[in-house]
A and B are shown apart, each in its own frame.
Chain A
Amino acid sequence: MLDLQAVSKHFGGVRAVDGVDLTVARGQILGLIGPNGSGKSTIVNLICGLFPLTSGRIVYNGADIADLPPHARVTMGIARTFQNIRLFGQLTVWQNLWVAQNSSEQRKQNFLKRWLGGSRSAREEIDRTLEFFDLAHKRDELAGNLAFGEQRRLEFARALSAKPALLLLDEPAAGMNAEEIDQLDGRIRRMRQDGITVLLIEHHVELVMSVADRIAVLNFGQKIAEGTPAAVQANPVVREAYLGTAAAA
């Protein structure tokens, strides 16, 4: 479904991402892990189009999307969350999902209806999503006034509001407690059941090992390993990247 081909991003002399090939198969959950600064978030930003590639190709459903602006990629079905939460704090919880209804199907609505009131089905969709994320009772609160865990859930919900086929989760478990991570685990699995492909970037190893079908490991901007969770866990190169040479020996 998504194919990164020899993708590179250099910031001046820094090779944040350096010739990475990565394939996300339809319906799969691909975990992307790596030490701090290994280029994980940069890859998400490249897939979303927040900055241009230095070289390489990004192919989505057979089309090269590397030159498309970010909003066009969302319309094609690629949505994301942010590592550091970026909600619209002065909008209500409900409005945060409302403004994010930008899938190609939602765009086909009658122009006036779409920009003024919103159709009944669009409104019901928001209510359902809020219900699923246990935020229905907060619908009229300003997003900026929510507790941290609620903000994380709202960001996840907002990403789903555009009905993505591919969801990029950038460290969704950061700052969550065990119970919240458990719920997150369940929600990510539910995404797969609903046919959404997921690219999961996460530091929390247990979560990744638990939900991911495959895992790719980055270090210093390069892919150093890829395989099933068990194979990656046993890979000496991965251990070396995380723990240093002495421990691997």
Chain B
Amino acid sequence: MSCHSSGKSKKNNNHSGKRLTIALAGNANVGKSVIFNQLTGSNQIIGNWPGKTVDRAEGTLRFEDYDIKVIDLPGIYSFSTFSMEELVSRNYIALEKPDVVINVLDASILERNLFFTIQLTEMEVPMVVCLNQVDEAKKKGIIIHKEKLQEALGVPVALTVATRGEGIYELVKTAVDVAKNKPKRKEIKYRHDVEEYIGKLASLIRVEQLELGYPSRWVAIKLLEGDSEISKLVSSKSKKVIEESKRLSRELSTSCEEPCFSIIASERYALASMIASRSLHQNEVKSTLSEKIDWLTTHKVLGYVTSASVIVGLLLWTFIVGDFLSGLIEEGLSLIAPLDLVLGGSILEIAWNGVWGGIVAGVTLIIPFVIPFYLLLAMIEDSGILTRVAFMMDSAMHKIGLHGKALIPMILGYGCNVPAIHSTKIMETRREKILAAFAITFIPCTAVTIVILGLVGAFLGIQWALALYAVNIAIIFLLGRIAVKVVPGKSTGLIMEMHSFKVPSLKVVAKQTWTRTKSLIYIVFPIYIVASALIQVLYALGVLMPISEAMSPLTVGWLGLPILAGVLLVMGVVRKEFIIVGAVTILGTTELGLFFTPVQFLTLALVGTLYIPCVATIGILIKEFGWKSAGLISVANILAAILFGGLAFRLLSLFM
């Protein structure tokens, strides 16, 4: 353990200034974020890791006379190279060497969580194990003996129920203590022959003095595992070490008749299993409420019913709450300045009206529709129900080249496409991210919902609006099938942990809602304001009408819409709800039924849903995937709208 003192020494002077850095690490969904919130309260900065699309949460905490910086690392299962999250986390811990790492564990899944703990001990950082959700574990009949676990791991253990704040003080105290004193701890050893190979390679690494910044034993293990990043790094420094690691790895693999990475994973789990069985006592318990919900949500028939109810319920809740709240807000805002679109008068007046309209639209969209939607969604997510929906929908998602997990960004899309596309980063490959984003651009967001409800719901009845949603899902599925064929590459399968159900934590829900809403405020809001002003000025200058006329073969000839539709669709690129707001303003009445036939209402609503991602969505597409992909997706949207709009017009004309 003496091999890496060079890296540590520079941090030691931090202590004189009474500053400390604590990193939180652990599996996904163990309550890490809850602990982070408990520790840092409102003193948080949420951003990205430099140069990476991985979220980085940092906060500060004052404890006794220490100023503590707390870093919440992404929730991961291992330190391999499976995902960017894993790479970011291990590089942070190994290279930036926080003063202490708090490893958060879910007490109910001790063994699986210990697999990660053992990897942390390999990195030789000062650490504290935080056994969280001990109350939930107790309900499942799991009793963990703290002292035994402490002894087996050789690091201090703290028990917490983070959602209630229990044990947090003790945890921080222990962590500070470890950071201060850096107690020597026993090394956790693998099976004798495996240790022998690790030892041989580690001593060669020490002799070669590679100056990697990582502990040599850890580098040795990673090289034996065939870790691509570490191999690349080491081979740039010493061919000899690489050659030797390959030889040793082959030798070990031959003697065990098993690939090395599997031997080492098995070793870690053997240790985890041994430690868990030593320190854990399992009592018999009757089936819990959680198991009953589990049965209901994944039942062969009822599972689909609950899945559908969850999604439909989510949308209905948004419609009802949104409609009610937006009415109130509009009334309030109309007292400040008139909300009607101004399309005549001086340019300045029109532009100002556009800016004001953009602000109002942003506010009346985000507060009443998007926030309630994300709030309920975050609750469903945190409770564990969404995982079951993803489980039930996996096979359907496979048909469009995705797996169950993609359902989460897609449902987000019903709120706003922008954070939905942002969240496609939970998918494993770029291909899946693009396929998911492509599907999302066809999903009616809250702005489109206003158009559907305003045109179809108001004039034809709510059943037609719901039918339009159903048709939309069918179209997404169809286009998804085509996209799978067009986008090269292979689909990956689902590997997803099924967390047990729990009562959603208010803090997690609030934070999740805020994270998602935030991107609307930063991206959608400014675009709304600037673009609204611009498009209104363009209309007033008489630029849009000629465009509309030029589009008439398409809008009138093919789609069977009034000539005005061209203007509305151009305006709708900025803000989808302009399709209805613009119609009311230009026609000077809310009685749109006088100007549109039922077929035209339906066609316009369908075309409005599909025809192009709005400016803000195109913006996020460019940011995440580049110009080319964003352009291709937009073109696909336009073509789909023309195709399905024309078909809808012709089919509907037969019946209506």
A and B bind: no
Contacts from B to A (Cβ < 8 Å): none
Contacts from A to B (Cβ < 8 Å): none
